[in-house]
Structure 1
Amino acid sequence: MKDTKILKIHNKSDKPDNIVIRDNNLIEECIIIEKSLPNFMKDYFVYLKGSVSVSTRHAYLKDIKFFCNYLVESQELTIAKEICDITLEEFNLIKARDVNLFLGDYCTRYYKHTSQDTTLIYENNNRALARKKSSLSTLFKFMFRNEQLDSNITDGFNPIKLPKPQPDAIKRLDIDEVAKMLDSVENGYGLTDKEKVYWRKTKLRDKAILALFVTYGLRLNELRELNISSFNFSRGEFKIYRKRGKEVLMPINHTCEVVVKDYIYNERTKSELLAEEHKDALFLSLQNKRITPKAIRQLVKKYTSISMETSRDSGYSPHKLRATAATSLIQNGFSIYDVQNLLDHDNVTTTQLYAAHKKHVKRDIVNNFEWIDDKKETSLD
């Protein structure tokens, strides 16, 4: 049996080991995908390394491999039996129409035969199609600029219309629901007897997780990757790693300092009893390992469902707590630019969606505050 490859990192950066290992695991996956793709794309691989984040590079490569696999399966644009055997000459014959058919016809609904009796049906919504289009656009544009292709076919790609998000459709907790959620994790309110068995072992951890989510609007991985060493309580701050590897210092408020310290000192397993790779991890599972994304989603879903008095399946995801933080801050008078900075929105228009809720509050106030009680219409002579 082939030995499993163990990745060891000699970390000389100021980033914590878990962040470096996470990125390097993604890089290893990128390398594996690159090896399966045609060799004429090598220049493009080098370009991706220096121009996009590791996660974006990984996503682009997966989409390009998916497209190349389609070319091999359809056998309409290549005679290659393997992805790596597709030639540059064949790639140069691809037209915008071919890509549009791939995105608009194949990607919207395709099938994978997993066994003799099972066929999986996959569907992509417009957001997923737009990402695949973006991935292919970068490839074809680069190869044209790199003088590998005769023409830039991307101008002929069909537009993909994304639904405009509506402020009223944004799912988030109201302020009283946040209070009910935190009360539930504090006192066990709304939990089943089975859930209370685990709650007694993890309530301080869960409380700290929920408090950080609704205060800072952290993304799931930003919270999951937190370490004990991320916090400098004497300076009143902690460090997080955003998308694209951005390192950000966040001020810690009194509430979050209290709940995080309470968890560290009174519930979390002592670091000296943990395996080396988990010694610094802030949030641990009952198995004394860094908590998984799935476990975080499940606990958020559980407590939000209790706060909304709905079924567990109808509970919210961690991203809805990010929306909760945004709307709560705006309703409490903070500007959209302050909230944009705190939540790391690339575009202020994203933050403006949450600000629309504040407009509704203003409308309710003025509609219910009339100086003149006479509702009859007055005409001007």
Structure 2
Amino acid sequence: MNNDKVLKINNKSNKPDNIVLRDNDIMERCIKIENKLPKFMKDYFIYLKGSVAVSTRYAYLEDINFFCNYLVESQELTKAEISKDITLNEFNNIKARDVNLFLGDYCSRYYKHTEKNTLIFENNNRALARKKSSLSTLFKFLYRNEQLDNNITDGFNPIKLPKPQPDAIKRLDIDEVAKMLDAVESGEGLTEKEKVYWKKTKLRDKAILALFVTYGLRLNELRELNISSFNFSRGEFKIFRKRGKEVLMPINHTCEIVVKDYIFNERPESEVLPDEVKDALFLSLQRKRLTSKAIRELVKKYTSISMETTRNNGYSPHKLRATAATSLIQTGFSIYDVQNLLDHDNVTTTQLYAAHKKNVKRDIVNNFEWVDNDDNLEEIKEIDKEINNNI
């Protein structure tokens, strides 16, 4: 896109302009990568446009570009000097073993040399699995599209991912959530320098934290909220989730109060703001939409206070998502209700949070007695005592 031209939006969709702009920015980055890749992949690029979310499309293209750069650097499977010049015939000669060497040998640890430094890059199994997935979709598509002679993906080595362990899930306990919200209310635990900014942003910060721990929102879901996202008269607000899903959420009393308090008593009036942020809900002191980095730092700061640890050991927004999940399950909501609220694709993800509900089996059977008569209970106890004495 020509930077000299002003980008104007003719938006006829249900998406707010900021979501359209965000997606457009990712699409522009996708196009830049596509322009660096071989022309024979054009049909694959079209396939990605219609089959995956824009963020996934970008991630896949980055991985494929990385693989093509590797082919050029190694000079073992192509004579091309740049990725764009790799031929379909050269790609057709790639074997499963070549991809396995790339993933298992090169990607696990590789080096980049600069004029001053040598940088070491290391990928864990999760990162390697994503690269494998990106390459698998490419090779499978080119085979189905009759551009490659064989489907080599069956020969890709498996990459074992560690099974998620419930005890490894980091989240705040209920009393720590209360302490975190108290800290943003009172400023207790903040440094003198932090208190200078806190006085100007405490209503904003409280609204952000309350939304995180109530709804388990993802970072981008919260960041992209607008004033127009909220319909207080109907008691609901709209969020845009992964894969472009539009969802209406009921707003509870607490969140309605803290959001309104921020809008009416701390946020600058929309009339004095630039057009691009007039509708943005959460603003920085520079009157711009709050960045992802700023939200992470904000959450890290207040969670570190609640856990009485250093700022570096504070939690990320995703840990507040885990906090919301475990708190709801501990309160008594079913995993299916929590799955729906948090937008988990698979209920097994939600079950990891359910494992944190302590003594769940004991609670169930202790509160599900069939015999209510005290005399019968005493008789059962006597029988039990007699049996124990005879063992």
For the criterion TM > 0.5, the same-fold answer is yes
Alignment correspondent of 2:52: 52
Displaced runs of 4 or more, over 3 A: 2-7, 359-367, 377-381
In structure 2, C-alpha distance between the alignment counterparts of 1:254 and 1:35, rounded to whole Å: 50
- 1:198 Cα offset (Å): 0.4
Alignment correspondent of 1:63: 63
Alignment correspondent of 1:295: 294
Alignment correspondent of 1:178: 177
CA 1:18/1:3 → structure 2, altered by over 3 Å: closer, same or farther?
Answer: closer
Q: Secondary structure at the match of 2:225?
A: coil
- 1:8 Cα offset (Å): 2.7
Q: Which amino acid aligns with 1:93?
A: N
Name the larger-Rg structure.
2
Q: Which amino acid aligns with 2:179?
A: K
Alignment correspondent of 1:321: 320
Q: Secondary structure at the match of 1:249?
A: strand
Alignment correspondent of 1:39: 39
In structure 2, C-alpha distance between the alignment counterparts of 1:64 and 1:24, rounded to whole Å: 21
Q: Which amino acid aligns with 1:35?
A: N
Give percent identity, aligned residues only. Answer: 82
Alignment correspondent of 1:242: 241
Q: Secondary structure at the match of 1:330?
A: helix
- 1:5 Cα offset (Å): 5.6
- 1:360 Cα offset (Å): 3.9
Alignment correspondent of 1:80: 80
Q: Say whether residues 1:160 and 2:193 are aligned partners.
A: no
Alignment correspondent of 2:374: none
In structure 1, C-alpha distance between the alignment counterparts of 2:359 and 2:167, rounded to whole Å: 10
Q: Say whether residues 1:209 and 2:211 are aligned partners.
A: no
In structure 2, C-alpha distance between the alignment counterparts of 1:169 and 1:361, rounded to whole Å: 19
What does the per-residue CA deviation read over 1:300-333, in whole Å, with 9 as the maximum and x for residues that have no partner? 0000000000000000000000000000000000
What does the per-residue CA deviation read over 1:235-271, in whole Å, with 9 as the maximum and x for residues that have no partner? 0000000001100000000000000000000000110
Alignment of 1:270-349 (within 5 A): 270-349=269-348
TM-score, scaled to structure 2: 0.92
Q: Secondary structure at the match of 2:355?
A: helix
Q: Which amino acid aligns with 2:261?
A: D
What does the per-residue CA deviation read over 1:218-245, in whole Å, with 9 as the maximum and x for residues that have no partner? 0000000000000000000000000011
TM-score, scaled to structure 1: 0.95
In structure 2, C-alpha distance between the alignment counterparts of 1:41 and 1:293, rounded to whole Å: 33
In structure 2, C-alpha distance between the alignment counterparts of 1:131 and 1:290, rounded to whole Å: 31
Q: Which amino acid aligns with 2:108?
A: T
In structure 2, C-alpha distance between the alignment counterparts of 1:238 and 1:23, rounded to whole Å: 21
Alignment correspondent of 1:94: 94
Q: Say whether residues 1:149 and 2:148 are aligned partners.
A: yes
In structure 2, C-alpha distance between the alignment counterparts of 1:74 and 1:38, rounded to whole Å: 17
- 1:358 Cα offset (Å): 1.2
Alignment correspondent of 1:17: 17
What does the per-residue CA deviation read over 1:26-79, in whole Å, with 9 as the maximum and x for residues that have no partner? 111111111110000001011111111111111111110000000000101001
Q: Secondary structure at the match of 1:239?
A: strand
Q: Secondary structure at the match of 1:36?
A: coil
- 1:3 Cα offset (Å): 5.0
- The runs of 5 or more residues in structure 2 that have no matched partner are 367-377
Alignment correspondent of 2:123: 124
Q: Which amino acid aligns with 1:195?
A: E
Q: Say whether residues 1:357 and 2:341 are aligned partners.
A: no
What does the per-residue CA deviation read over 1:72-100, in whole Å, with 9 as the maximum and x for residues that have no partner? 00101001000000000000000000001
Q: Secondary structure at the match of 2:356?
A: helix
- The runs of 5 or more residues in structure 1 that have no matched partner are none
What does the per-residue CA deviation read over 1:344-363, in whole Å, with 9 as the maximum and x for residues that have no partner? 00000000000001144555
- 1:378 Cα offset (Å): 3.8
Q: Which amino acid aligns with 1:79?
A: K
In structure 1, C-alpha distance between the alignment counterparts of 2:364 and 2:358, rounded to whole Å: 10
Alignment correspondent of 2:111: 111
- 1:119 Cα offset (Å): 1.5
In structure 1, C-alpha distance between the alignment counterparts of 2:189 and 2:365, rounded to whole Å: 37
In structure 2, C-alpha distance between the alignment counterparts of 1:344 and 1:303, rounded to whole Å: 25
Q: Secondary structure at the match of 2:35?
A: helix
In structure 1, C-alpha distance between the alignment counterparts of 2:9 and 2:120, rounded to whole Å: 40
What does the per-residue CA deviation read over 1:147-189, in whole Å, with 9 as the maximum and x for residues that have no partner? 0000000000000111011101100000000000000000011
CA 1:45/1:379 → structure 2, altered by over 3 Å: closer, same or farther?
Answer: farther
Q: Which amino acid aligns with 1:244?
A: R
Q: Secondary structure at the match of 2:248?
A: strand
In structure 2, C-alpha distance between the alignment counterparts of 1:282 and 1:358, rounded to whole Å: 35
Q: CA RMSD in A?
A: 2.1
